[in-house]
Structure 1
Amino acid sequence: MPETLESVLRGDWKFFAALSGIALVLGGLMFATLPALTDGMAGNPEMVEMMTAYSAYGY
């Protein structure tokens, strides 16, 4: 086990930086595609009805 948190960060900073970068890119892609996904669903009246009725069956 490493002695301190500082020793872990000193040795693995490149790994953590790459992991953070990948997460940022994936989050950005998901955020960018969200309007396209919701636009396709909102135009469909059957989908809107299904989504509003679904909450009646929960809990």
Structure 2
Amino acid sequence: MTGRSDRQQIRSRRMTEAGAEEAYEAARIAFELGRSPTIQVPKRLAKAPDVESMVRLAPHTAA
């Protein structure tokens, strides 16, 4: 068995565990926020249950 096949089997097994999908999604979002925050990320975060989304725009202060 190759290393890739081993990893795929382990991942498949782990994804059947309780809470695995939610944890995977949370890790994916955290990765995206750190790597490439786009408008899609806040849109997905806004859909999270029990979360109030807020966006604040303020003028720059004079330097």
TM over 0.5: no
TM-score if structure 1 supplies the norm length? Answer: 0.38
Structure index of larger Rg = 1
